[in-house]
Amino acid sequence: MLRSLRSFNWREALPRMAADFAIVHFSMIAALAVSVVYQTGTGRGAEAEAIVSGFSLYYTAFFGVLSPIFPLVFLLNGFYTHSRAYIGRYKIWVILRGVVLAAIVFFAANFLLFGSENVGRSVALPFMVLAAAGAASARIAKDFLEARYLVRLKTAPALAPRPDWVLVVGGAGYIGSILVERLLEKGYRVRVLDSLLYGDEPLRPVRNNPDFELMVGDCRNIQDVVKAVRGVESVIHLAAIVGDPACEQDHGPALETNYAATRMLIEIAKGHGVSRFLFASSCSVYGATDIEMDENAAVRPISLYGRTKVDSERALLEARSQTFHPTILRFATVFGLGYRPRFDLVVNLLTAKAYQEGVITIYNGQQWRPFIHVCDLVEATVRVLEAPVRLVTGEILNVGDSRLNHTLTEVAEVIQQTFRNVRIEHVENADRRNYRVNFDKIVNRAGFRARYTLRDGIEELRNALDAGLIADYTDLRYHNQRYLKAVGGPTYKDEVDALVMAAFSNQRTNHPELAAIEAPST
């Protein structure tokens, strides 16, 4: 509540407060009409007449005096500050909660100050319903009209780019290429720093966009990073050697790319006045657990990949200042079609196997995993970037949707609904990693809800396979660990890079949970 008052903008809020004040008064008058109609319709004419005769005095002498309680309680509940970023059902819930709380405070004050001068339940209950419906409907209508207006703007030829640049480090990857496209659609100027280890094909759809700039470079090279960061307002850091197998293949490059390069990027970003810094972490940092994990839960990474993410998170949060606002995004397990689709991800891999081989193998089917479609992941990232900074600075956000926590057996069943003739084989082994994740916080802070289900992503991949967009899902380009094993990991430009990375890598020794990580190979 105090945060709501600190972030309150009178000029923006006064029209909304006036509208809510009018809705409250209209709701009380309408509640009177509802009550009179009800009493008359049930043969209680005397009661109806008494309500009418006494209402004028009550409305002017009592309700009018206490009605400012409503906009005041609404203010303390964030109606005019942070809840403006909410959408959908959660926004409606916040409104309903605020109206009910305001009504309780109002009727309590009415009783304490004026004793028996009160309205009966036949007026009070309709009033609460009408006030809640009015406040919610006004905001839903506003959001609808704004959405329609923004759609028309997007198609207008005079859409001006936003003045600020966003740097996407690792923007040519599975997630990054779709994120870049989405940012350009929303009017941002976007710069990408990427070594193009997997090629530039994912970025070809945006290469001719005048608001797009590609810098081919290595996030471990200090000169490349300085050039990329210069002049940008926000950084979205996606670059990493992703996944447990790829990191275990060579600990040195994994530690440098996933941790040391992040440490270097933090220092350079702060030095160049970058305000917003979004970091792609992973829900795998929670390790193996049988309970649903939220952002307050202890992290227990069980792999090098997870440990580098945890330590990068800590470095970012320690770097937070009044001008530097990091946000940690712990991504759920991604699925869905992309410009560089990945078939080392469980849903995508099982879908491709079902399509081409007609049989899938499920290991330890009762294990839980949180899932999210790649387009939903991108939308969540953009929502966090655009959220009021006070809601996300220094915060850790699980990125996903609780409705997409599934067991591996459930994943197989959804695949079988799409591929009717697929055969499912169940195998038990020693890999018992199991975790479910709670995603309420990103709903509250950024108003994010997933649009895509598992079945949507599976059908999308089937259609792509049918259309021949993916000739062979076993191609090395679609598998991080196999590709790195075949072509080798990223190499240094010169010895300076090695020395810089060694310096930043050595900072991990301050944190005992990284003591088991190997030093970079020489």
pLDDT tens profile 445-461: 998 999 999 999 999 99
- Asked whether the beta carbons of 233 and 474 are under 8 A apart, the reply is no
- Asked whether the beta carbons of 309 and 285 are under 8 A apart, the reply is yes
Rounded to two decimals, the pTM is 0.70
Confidence band, pLDDT 50/70/90 cuts, at residue 368: very high
On whether both 169 and 309 belong to a single domain, the answer is yes
Q: Which domain holds residue 58?
A: 2-155
pLDDT in tens, 106-162: 778 877 776 655 566 677 788 778 887 887 777 777 655 654 444 333 433 333 445
Mean pLDDT value of segment 261-284:
95
Burial 347-357 (b: 16+ CB within 10 A, else e): bbbbbbbbbee
Tokens of 311: 């330590």
What integer pLDDT is reported at residue 138 of this predicted model?
A: 77
On whether both 253 and 382 belong to a single domain, the answer is yes
- Residues 188 and 182: their CA atoms lie apart, in Å, by 9
Task: Report the Cα 357 to chain-centroid distance in Å.
Answer: 35
pLDDT in tens, 309-353: 999 999 999 999 999 999 999 999 999 999 989 999 999 999 999
Outline where DSSP puts E strands in 136-227: 165-169, 189-194, 212-216
Q: Is the pLDDT of residue 506 over 80?
A: no
CATH code, domain carrying 500: 3.40.50.720
On whether both 170 and 316 belong to a single domain, the answer is yes
Residue 522 placed within a domain: no
Task: Report the Cα 493 to chain-centroid distance in Å.
Answer: 36
Residue 500 placed within a domain: yes
Q: Is the pLDDT of residue 428 over 70?
A: yes
DSSP state of 470: -
Residue at which a domain ends, from 155, 176, 195: 155
On whether both 77 and 180 belong to a single domain, the answer is no
Q: How many domains does the chain have?
A: 2
Q: Is the pLDDT of residue 415 over 80?
A: yes
On whether both 306 and 433 belong to a single domain, the answer is yes
On whether both 24 and 73 belong to a single domain, the answer is yes
Q: How far apart are the first and last CA of the chain?
A: 54
- Residues 349 and 463: their CA atoms lie apart, in Å, by 15
All residues at 6 or more sequence positions from 112 whose CB lies less than 8 Å from its CB, including other chains: none
Q: Is the pLDDT of residue 395 over 70?
A: yes
What integer pLDDT is reported at residue 87 of this predicted model?
A: 52
Confidence band, pLDDT 50/70/90 cuts, at residue 96: confident
Residue at which a domain ends, from 106, 123, 155: 155
On whether both 286 and 174 belong to a single domain, the answer is yes
Residue at which a domain ends, from 89, 121, 155: 155
Residue 7 placed within a domain: yes
